[in-house]
Chain A
Amino acid sequence: MSAEETITSGYGGTKLNYLTNGTTLKSWLLTKDHKRIAIMYLITVSLFFMMGGLYAAAIRLELLTPNSDLFQTATYNKVFTQHGVLMIFFFLLPAIPAVLGNFLLPLMIGAKDLALPRINLLSLYIYWIGGVLALWALMQGGVDTGWTFYTPYSTTFSNSYVMLVGLGVFINGFSSILTGLNFIVTIHTMRAPGMTWFRLPLFVWAHYAVSLVMILGTPVVAITILLLAIERVAHVGIFDPAIGGDPILFQHLFWFYSHPAVYIMILPGMGVVSELISNFARKKIFGYEFIAFSSIAIAVFGFLVWGHHMFVSGQSIYASLVFSFLTMVVAVPSAIKMFNWTATLYKGSISFDTPMLYAIGFMGLFLIGGLTGLFLGSIGLTVHLTDTYFVVAHFHYVMVGGQVIAYLGGIHYWWPKMTGRMYSEFWGKISAMLVFVGFNLTFFPQFILGYLGMPRRYAAYPPEFQVLNIFSTAGASVLGIGLLLPVVYLVHSLFFGKKAGDNPWMHPGLEWRTSSPPPTENFEKMPVVTWDAYEFGEGSGMDLEGARQREALQA
Chain B
Amino acid sequence: MQSTTWIPFFPEAASSFAWQVDLLYFYLIAVSVAFSIPIVVAIFFFAIRYREVEKFATPDEMHGSMVLETVWSIIPFVVSMTIFLGGAIVYFNQYEPPDDAMEIFVVGKQWMWKVQHQTGQREINELHVPVGKKIKLTMTTEDVLHDFFVPAFRTKIDAVPGRYTYLWFEPTVTGKFHLFCAEYCGLNHSGMGGSVYVMEQRDFDNWLSGNVAGQTPVEQGKDLFMNKLGCASCHTGGPAQRGAKLEGIFNHEVKLVGGQTVTADDQYIRNSILNPTSQIVDGFQPIMPTFKGQVTEEQLNALVAYIKSLSPNAPAASAPAAPAAGANTDSANKAPARSAANSSK
Contacts and interface: CB of A to CB of B under 8 A. Distances in A.
Contacts of B96: 317
Interface in B31-73: 31-32, 35-36, 39-40, 42-43, 46-47, 50-65, 68-69, 72-73
Max chain B C-beta neighbours (<10 A), residue from A246, A283, A284, A335: A335
Contacts of A281: 50, 59
A381 B94 contact: no
Given A74-B187, A314-B157, A384-B155, A324 B180 contact: no
A236 interface: no
A346 B52 CA distance: 12
Interface stretch (B188-196, B206-214, B322-330): B188-196
A83 to B, nearest CB: 14
B168 to A, nearest CB: 12
Contacts of B54: 349, 548
Contacts of A367: 35-36, 39-40
A459 interface: yes
Contacts of A460: 190-191
B340 to A, nearest CB: 29
Given A328-B81, A379-B88, A452-B151, A247 B145 contact: yes
B91 interface: yes
A350 B43 contact: no
Contact of B25 (A153, A375, A387, A455): A375
A317 B162 contact: no
B92 A335 contact: no
Contact of B62 (A152, A284, A313, A378): A284
A227 interface: no
B158 interface: yes
A284 B156 contact: no
B181 A455 contact: yes
A43 interface: no
A377 interface: yes
A452 B11 contact: yes
Interface residues of A, number: 99
Contacts, number: 286
A175 interface: no
B40 A380 contact: no
Given A345-B47, A380-B87, A384-B155, A283 B24 contact: no
Nearest to B84: A328
B223 to A, nearest CB: 25
A345 B92 CA distance: 44
Contacts of B62: 283-284, 286, 346-347
A349 B57 contact: yes
Given A314-B160, A374-B31, A320 B68 contact: no
Interface stretch (A23-31, A108-116, A287-295, A299-307): A287-295
Contacts of B28: 371, 374-375, 378, 381
B6 interface: no
Contacts of B160: 241, 247-248, 313-314
B115 to A, nearest CB: 19
A73 B84 contact: no
B52 A351 contact: yes
Contacts of B190: 68, 73, 455, 457-461
Interface string B75-92: 011001101101111111
B156 A386 contact: yes
Interface in B141-171: 143-145, 147, 149, 151-152, 154-158, 160-163, 165
Contacts of B65: 287
A462 to B, nearest CB: 6
Interface string B1-29: 00000000111000000001100110010
Contact of B186 (A144, A284, A453, A461): A144
A380 B184 contact: no
Nearest to A148: B184
Contacts of B77: 329, 332
Interface string A346-368: 11111110000000100110011
B40 A153 contact: no
B182 A371 contact: no
Interface string A263-278: 0000000000000000
A211 interface: no
Contact of A284 (B10, B61, B87, B88): B61
B35 A348 contact: no
Contacts of B24: 378, 380-381
A381 B21 contact: yes
B46 A383 contact: no
Contact of B40 (A77, A241, A343, A364): A364
A39 interface: no
B93 A380 contact: yes
A387 B76 contact: no
B279 interface: no
Contacts of A468: 9
A537 B58 contact: yes
Contact of B161 (A242, A335, A551): A242
Contact of A312 (B36, B80, B156): B156
Nearest to A313: B158
B95 interface: yes
B202 interface: no
B178 interface: yes
Contact of A287 (B25, B64, B143): B64
Nearest to A349: B57
Contact of B43 (A74, A345, A371, A452): A345
Contact of B60 (A247, A347, A388): A347
Nearest to A153: B144
Nearest to B39: A342
Given A378-B24, A383-B156, A547-B56, A339 B143 contact: no
A312 B35 contact: no
A336 interface: yes
Contacts of A383: 21, 90-91, 94-95, 154-156
B198 to A, nearest CB: 16
Max chain A C-beta neighbours (<10 A), residue from B46, B91, B162, B184: B184
A138 interface: no
A314 B163 contact: yes
Nearest to B20: A380
A242 B275 CA distance: 11
Given A283-B59, A460-B191, A536-B58, A146 B184 contact: yes
Contact of B50 (A346, A457, A544): A346
Interface string A452-477: 11011111111000001000000000
B183 interface: yes
Contact of A378 (B40, B86, B145): B86
Given A77-B189, A324-B87, A336-B69, A384 B154 contact: yes
Given A287-B63, A347-B59, A452-B10, 11 more contacts: A153-B186, A290-B69, A338-B39, A349-B53, A380-B90, A381-B24, A384-B155, A384-B156, A387-B147, A455-B149, A457-B189
The 6 closest A-B pairs by CB, nearest first: A380-B90, A453-B151, A241-B162, A378-B87, A287-B64, A458-B190
16 contacts: A153-B186, A286-B62, A286-B63, A313-B160, A343-B68, A346-B46, A346-B62, A348-B50, A349-B52, A350-B46, A360-B47, A363-B43, A367-B36, A380-B91, A381-B24, A455-B149
Interface of B: 9-11, 20-21, 24-25, 28, 31-32, 35-36, 39-40, 42-43, 46-47, 50-65, 68-69, 72-73, 76-77, 80-81, 83-84, 86-96, 110, 143-145, 147, 149, 151-152, 154-158, 160-163, 165, 178, 180-191, 275
Interface of A: 68, 73-74, 77, 144-146, 150, 152-153, 156-158, 241-242, 244, 246-248, 281-284, 286-290, 311-314, 317, 320-321, 324-325, 328-329, 331-332, 335-336, 338-340, 342-343, 345-352, 360, 363-364, 367-368, 371-372, 374-375, 377-384, 386-388, 448, 451-453, 455-462, 468, 506, 535-538, 544, 547-548, 551-552
